[in-house]
Amino acid sequence: MAKMAAAALTREGGEDAFRRLFRFYRQRDVSDLRGVVDFSVPGGQVVRSQLSISSVSDQDAYRAGLQPVSQWKAYGLKGYPGFIFILNPFLPGCQRHWVKQCLKLYPQKPNVCNLDLHMAPEKTIDLWGQSKEQLRKKGSSKWEPRSLLEKLRWVTLGYHYNWDTKKYSANHHTPFPSDLAFLSEQVAAACGFRGFQAQAGILNYYHFDSSLGIHVDESELDHSRPLLSFSFGQSSIFLLGGLKREEAPTAMFMHSGDIMVMSGFSRLLYHAVPRVLPNPDGTALPSCLDQGLSSDLPVGSVIEHSSDEDWQVCAKYLQSSRINMTIRQVLAEGQKFPDESGTKGKGQAPSEDGHHQENSRTKRHKPNTNTDS
């Protein structure tokens, strides 16, 4: 069904097949989503994926806030070897930890965010502290002024991507968060990639008018390691294409807690997010975020309890937003960056709300908040 719908949309016109489908799902009045793959009701081109259950102990899964790997529901797509979709494997309450980290901790210095482009450093030191009261009291009117957290579009971790040179470098690196590294290592190991090193991360912050342009993640020097993607909050449509933009992509839903792994053949495929959607439960927040953490966390858990006050702020933010964490290994074991003597500075990004230049294979994925994409 999904492939047939895509084919029907890509037979005519001068645009490439990917761009045409992107524009179709980007339209605000699109109500026909029958062509979108829903992994919660697998069928058609969806196949089961085998995981490496013995590679992650139940204890390590619990420490990362995950169910035992034997209980995960993992799928692939015919025609996309190396692509793995894991339906929300998080234990009750554990998604809340990652949401809080993405809003309260990870945007802090020395990490880099889009607001650094046009604000003085002292103004971006504590985005959470400057935003929490405004967010907590926020009403439903779209005319209310936005808090700094609501203006956040991206944060980079570890090796910070240089948006000017489209490269990573040894001289722009800060410590990668240990909790997120541990989570990523468990997911990678379960998918057959033991020894994965979480070296760089890009956190994208979406609202209902946001999109993510068509791109390929190819700036990492080691493409043998997977790209991991974690989603929290409202839902989205994700498009996964081919090695060329002339190949029609497959559309699929991503819901809160879902994880995608792009590896092997699928590691360098074109992909995009044309649309953020309200969650399928029809409630302000997805039901999987309703439950708090149990009181007895395992020894060595990287998950922390969130105060009711903190979660109120996070919940208000997520009522109209989606957070995505993409984690990657930049260098192979023992690999070093090439000579960087010709590289200038640490340029970070084009303007906050600029469009993707979609004719560039290496244009990095920066959420686009314009509505005419």
Q: Are 199 and 358 in contact (CB under 8 A)?
A: no
Nearest Cα to Cα of residue 225 among 246, 258, 180, 195: 195
Q: How far apart are CA 205 and CA 368, in angstroms?
A: 10
Contact, 70 vs 53, CB < 8 A?
A: yes
- Residue 263's nearest CA partner among 55, 58, 66, 51 is 51
Contact in structure between 158 and 200 (CB atoms under 8 Å)? yes
Place of tokens 């196949």: 47
Residue 136 burial by CB count (10 A; 0-12/13-18/19+): exposed, middle or buried? middle
Is the omega angle on the peptide bond into residue 42 within 30 degrees of 0, that is, cis? Answer: no
DSSP symbol at 311: H
Q: How far is CA 251 from CA 47, 282, 284, 288, 367, in A?
A: 15, 21, 24, 23, 18
Sheet strands side by side (includes 321-328): 46-48, 73-77, 83-87, 259-262, 227-233, 321-328, 200-207, 154-158, 112-113
Annotated binding residues for Fe cation, written as ranges, equal: 215, 217, 271
Q: Which residues pair with 229 in a beta bridge?
A: 260, 326
Q: Which residues define the annotated binding site? A: 215, 217, 271
* Count of CB atoms situated within 10 Å of the CB of 264: 16
Q: How many helices and strands, by DSSP H and E, does the chain display?
A: 7, 14
